[in-house]
Amino acid sequence: MRRRDFISLVTGAAIAGPRAATAQSSSKVFRLGTLTPGAPLDEKSPLGSILLKEMEPHGYTLGKNLSLEARGAAGQVSRLGEIVRGMKANNVDVIVSVSYPATLACKVEKVPTVVAYGCGDPVATSLIDGLARPGGTVTGISDNSTTLSTKRLGLIKQAVPKLQRVAMLWNRDDLGMSQRYEASAGAARSLGTTVQALGVREPDDFEEAFAAMDRERPDAILMVTDSLTALNRKRVFEYATTHRLPAIYEYDFLVQDGGLMSYGGDLRESMVRVASMIDRIFRGARPGDLPFELPTLYPFVINLKTARAMGIEPPASLLALADDVIE
């Protein structure tokens, strides 16, 4: 068992306590919704299944006293508002959101919302009033993008000691991700690294981004993750591998899927804490009174199979830092 899995297991057990009996003794069926700009976060998805499993220690079982309405916009962000209105009409009690656009749509409709990940800085984007006391209808999990970006760039520099130029891919139509890019770019410049800004708005823009890197070759790639970049991740993996460009990503599922390496909040741990927040809201707490939380686990993951396909041999010092090495 990996260290972070053990910690998540212990955390999940510790927060259950007597609350489970309260939920189980109620005859009410609680209505949980999930909303993403991409594929639905349902019981068949890895993170969706973790969320539902973590709801059980609190006394909520799918098909008994818990129902799930999992919705995704399949990349059509403009449909998010319509989807939320439909979920509101279906009387969902809480929506778990992924991304800034999905969270904004929930906020507009004033539906109690718990952010799982991917919303960027919720204060800077005016989703909430403050991290300690969000106000309104939104709470959840966030992170410090400046700190994380500095760490990611430090890791990529260990893989590329002579790093001078880093290409940054992000969705420029997503305010949360644009602010995350700005934080990453600021961190890079503070380390003396030139930033090659490659903002995209739609799938066709990736070809233009690749052409820009052909014209001015970077030393590495940093991809800011949202539904657009995640849906086109295989194209980025293929380009990086073909051109032997080390790339770092924000979440470990991208490395498990073929990316080179990642550093960011542990989404499994986030789901444990999201389940706890949902329980508190089901029991009567107001989202605006629940502080936003930061991840406590930040796995660094390397895919050695991808490294070998690229002809890259990560230094032993870098491998020693990894929480997980995929071979």
How sure is the predictor about 23, in pLDDT bands with cuts at 50, 70 and 90? low
Q: pLDDT digits over 180-236, tens only?
A: 899 889 989 988 999 999 999 999 999 999 999 999 999 999 999 998 999 999 999
The predicted pLDDT at position 19 comes to: 52
Structure-block tokens of residue 288: 């605006």
The predicted pLDDT at position 198 comes to: 97
Task: Please provide the average confidence, as pLDDT, over all residues in the chain.
Answer: 91
Q: What are phi and psi of 61, to 5 degrees?
A: -125, 125
Residue range 6-17: mean pLDDT, rounded: 44
pLDDT greater than 50 at residue 10: no
Centroid of chain to Cα 76: 18
Closest listed residue to residue 102, CA positions, set 140, 132, 131: 140
Evaluate whether 302 touches 159 at the Cβ level (below 8 Å).
Answer: no
pLDDT greater than 70 at residue 13: no
pLDDT greater than 60 at residue 248: yes
Evaluate whether 226 touches 245 at the Cβ level (below 8 Å).
Answer: no
Strand partners, 70: 34
Percent of the chain with pLDDT over 70: 92
pLDDT greater than 60 at residue 9: no
At which residue do the structure tokens 């406590």 appear? 296
pLDDT greater than 70 at residue 253: yes
Report d(CA 228, CA 101) in Å as an integer.
12
pLDDT greater than 80 at residue 18: no
pLDDT greater than 50 at residue 15: no
Q: Which long-range contacts (CB under 8 A, 24 or more apart) does 193-199 make?
A: 193/153, 193/157, 193/163, 193/164, 193/165, 193/166, 194/164, 194/165, 194/166, 195/165, 195/166, 195/168, 196/165, 196/166, 196/167, 196/168, 197/168, 198/167, 198/168, 198/169, 198/170, 199/170, 199/171, 199/172
Strand partners, 66: 30, 62
Report d(CA 245, CA 169) in Å as an integer.
13
Structure-block tokens of residue 117: 């990940």
Q: pLDDT digits over 71-115, tens only?
A: 999 989 999 999 999 999 999 999 999 999 999 999 999 999 999
The predicted pLDDT at position 3 comes to: 43
CA distances (Å), 166 to each of 52, 190, 192, 270, in order? 39, 13, 11, 29
Report d(CA 157, CA 151) in Å as an integer.
10
pLDDT greater than 60 at residue 16: no
Evaluate whether 71 touches 33 at the Cβ level (below 8 Å).
Answer: yes
Report d(CA 101, CA 77) in Å as an integer.
7
Percent of the chain with pLDDT over 90: 83
Query: Do the strands 261-263 and 247-249 form a parallel or antiparallel pair, or are they unpaired?
Result: parallel
The predicted pLDDT at position 176 comes to: 87
Report d(CA 27, CA 82) in Å as an integer.
31
**pTM for this one?**
0.88
How sure is the predictor about 325, in pLDDT bands with cuts at 50, 70 and 90? very high
The predicted pLDDT at position 32 comes to: 98
pLDDT greater than 50 at residue 11: no
